[in-house]
Amino acid sequence: GTLLAVPEAEATCRLTILGAYTPPGGIAGLFFDRLIGYRIANATVAALLAEFKESIETDYAIRLAP
């Protein structure tokens, strides 16, 4: 996978995660992924990006503090 950080304004950027996933388990794995698995993966990536955001913003605020 790839993590991209693209500047958008003076103090903001857009974080994007690009990746691919092939579910294991053949047809059963594909069926599970289409029903539930992709939702779990999307929620996991959203949580990871939120953690990155919090960490980056905290670090930025500390660096700007007098």
Structure confidence by residue, pLDDT tens digits, 10-56: 778 888 888 888 889 999 999 999 999 989 989 998 998 899 889 98
- 66 vs 55: CA distance, rounded Å: 19
pLDDT at 64: 83
Euclidean distance between CA atoms 52 and 17, whole angstroms: 11
| Residue 5 predicted with pLDDT over 90 | no
For range 1-8, the mean pLDDT: 88
